[in-house]
Chains A and B, each alone.
Chain A
Amino acid sequence: MSDLSDEKIREEAKKALREKGLKCVIGWNAEGTPTFASTAEEIDKLAFNKSSVNNLVPYLTYEIRSQRGKTRDGKDKVVVPVGIVVRGCDSKALLLLLNEKILARSEVFIIGVPCTGVVDPHAGGALFRKCVKCAMRNPVVFDVLASDKVQEDEKDYSEVEAIERMSQEERWALWEEILADCIRCHACKRSCPVCYCDECLLDPTDVAVKMDTSAEEKAYRPRWVERSVNVPENLVYHLARLPHLVGRCVDCGECERVCPRRLPLRLLTAKLEKDVKDIFDYEAAKEEGQKPLIAMSCMEDDNGFIM
């Protein structure tokens, strides 16, 4: 990543800010801190380098959806488009949101940056494990590219396959130890780009309560996960998160990056993505306009274990 691409990012961002009247351009500064640049000077601080580790799509979703709503006379509020700098993995998450119509293509100005991997701050200068062999280095959706495309590798499922080969007792020993270490701080859920529900059934009290919500609805809403932090509740917390990511998770690894306990959560999402490919031959965010996997029903699906 020569500073050539930084120049291109800033130039494109300023042009878009002027011509398209962007609310702001979301990117990283030189230290890798997410920045919301809304003036030319702020855009000059944007950069893309080895420490640009955050997936910025959750911020984009927040910036756009917080503009939605109705004006006083009942018409839809006009959404000011927002610019964003995306790497390959971010762009796949963004494409998933576009396919799910959470964000409209016209609301987003996308500056794509082909990426050769970013550095894991805990690993003394080495790349993240997910970046060593990455099959999505080049952005899949963009308005402009900041530098030329780079060579992508074959998707590497070796770690997942290693676990699949384990015996069931070994697998449980591995996951029980991991689940016992989880403190349910919700960082994995809050940083996930495709996890955008306002009201999540895994939040401690999950009712999106309004003034007129009836007492029964509040009283009899099931608590899917208790607040106690122990192996059974953590097991259900993580097992409950996964079905909501079927055919949606792009395995960007943000959940593993943000986990303060450094749990290998990407093993779960990579396994999920691998199964989706094997069983349904489906890949999340493969092309624009793709229908969600779970929303499609198919007679030809294999019956698998069903008696």
Chain B
Amino acid sequence: MMSAKNDYLPQMAEITSITQETTGERAVKTFRIAFKDKSAKMDWKAGQTCMVSVFGKGESMFAISSSPTKGHIEFSVQRMGRVTERLHQMQVGDELGIRGPYGNGFPVEQWKGKNIYFIAGGVGMAPVRAVMNYVVDQKEDYGELHLLYGARSSRDLSYKAEIDALEQGGAIDVRRTIDVAEPGWLQIDNANPDSTKFDPSTRKFTGFVATIVTAMKCNPENALAVICGPPIMIKTCIGSLAKLGWKDEQIYTTLENKMKCGIGKCGRCNIGGVYVCVDGPVFTYAQVKKMLPDQ
């Protein structure tokens, strides 16, 4: 009798490259990994996640931050606790365990021909980067693409080189915003975003992401938005979009909860009856509104 596949058994992998995205207390590093067993291969959808094993410390669920079109697996990890602290001490060649991919991922096939606004805050850029690169690599299937990426300061913006290249490439209209004013970053008044006039080609702003969403007047016509970041940013951005006439089904976001099994068995990541690990992490705002307020 063939015993069922053991979903708790991680596949061995090693780190092939580490990029220091940001520094400081809550530093972010991007780890590229490759399976030790060369024949092993994992196909995943943008927005899916993996359980990364740091043996001796435990497992954590991370969004795969590289697009399937890139052919390699990357995770962007912020230093937060037991597992991530050890990860941030690891060198190239150190070993990890990977199990997954888990979760539903972004329904990109339904987005053909749409204009897409990618809105990301801080380390929320990781899942957005995966789906953004996937869409940019098939630019012709989609409409206008916009990226609005916000962080606390310019030092906290990840993937600098990659985003600069995208900006030059012209496939996607890139704008950045930071919370604390710095020279060359146009200040937009958070209280009433419409009051400051600005040259539409401005690239760098100072102000909350939701403020810039209002200031940029994102057009809901044949469009959809992907918002990932800290819960407060998601809430305020959804508020701004709603004021601009966006409907709930047009807004996609990812939810986060404590996860241990990743396969819908250990009973802890539920919001009401919905298990974030298997039913999510990607939900439309319409779905989120229907959920019980178990936050």
Contact = CB atoms under 8 A, between A and B. Distances in A.
Direct contact of A and B (CB under 8 A): yes
Interface residues of A, number: 6
Q: Name the residue in A214, A215, A216 with the highest tally of chain B Cβ atoms < 10 Å from its Cβ.
A: A215
Contact of A219 (B25, B26, B82): B82
A218 interface: yes
B109 to A, nearest CB: 38
Interface in A215-251: 215-216, 218-220
Q: Name the residue in B25, B26, B84, B85 with the highest tally of chain A Cβ atoms < 10 Å from its Cβ.
A: B85
A216 B82 CA distance: 8
Contacts of B26: 215
Contacts of A215: 25-26, 79-81, 84-85, 88
A214 B86 contact: no
A216 B84 CA distance: 10
Interface residues of B, number: 11
Interface string A188-224: 0000000000000000000000000011101110000
Contacts of A218: 80-82, 85
B14 to A, nearest CB: 22
Q: Name the residue in A216, A218, A219, A220 with the highest tally of chain B Cβ atoms < 10 Å from its Cβ.
A: A219
Q: Name the residue in B25, B79, B81, B85 with the highest tally of chain A Cβ atoms < 10 Å from its Cβ.
A: B81
Nearest to B85: A219
A237 B79 CA distance: 31
Nearest to A216: B85
Interface in B39-84: 57, 79-82, 84
Nearest to B25: A214
Interface in A272-295: none
Nearest to A207: B81
Contacts of A214: 25
Contacts of B79: 215
A220 B51 CA distance: 22
A219 B60 CA distance: 13
Contacts of B86: 219
A220 B81 CA distance: 9
Contacts of B80: 215, 218
A216 B80 CA distance: 8
A220 B86 CA distance: 10
A6 B158 CA distance: 69
A152 to B, nearest CB: 48
Interface in B70-107: 79-82, 84-86, 88
A142 B80 CA distance: 49
A219 B82 CA distance: 4
A222 to B, nearest CB: 11
A94 B25 CA distance: 43
A219 B85 CA distance: 6
A202 B85 CA distance: 23
A215 B60 CA distance: 15
A234 to B, nearest CB: 22
A230 B86 CA distance: 28
Nearest to B86: A219
Interface in B261-279: none
A201 to B, nearest CB: 16
B164 to A, nearest CB: 29
A218 B88 CA distance: 14
Contacts of B82: 218-219
A218 B86 CA distance: 11
Contacts of B25: 214-215
A214 B25 CA distance: 7
Nearest to B83: A219
B243 to A, nearest CB: 29
A55 B26 CA distance: 45
A216 B89 CA distance: 12
A218 B81 CA distance: 5
A33 B146 CA distance: 61
Interface in A142-163: none
Given A214-B25, A218-B85, 17 more contacts: A215-B25, A215-B26, A215-B79, A215-B80, A215-B81, A215-B84, A215-B85, A215-B88, A216-B85, A218-B81, A218-B82, A219-B57, A219-B81, A219-B82, A219-B85, A219-B86, A220-B85
Interface of B: 25-26, 57, 79-82, 84-86, 88
Interchain residue pairs A-B with the least CB separation, the first 4:
A219-B85, A218-B81, A215-B79, A219-B82
19 contacts: A214-B25, A215-B25, A215-B79, A215-B80, A215-B81, A215-B84, A215-B85, A215-B88, A216-B85, A218-B80, A218-B81, A218-B82, A218-B85, A219-B57, A219-B81, A219-B82, A219-B85, A219-B86, A220-B85
Interface of A: 214-216, 218-220
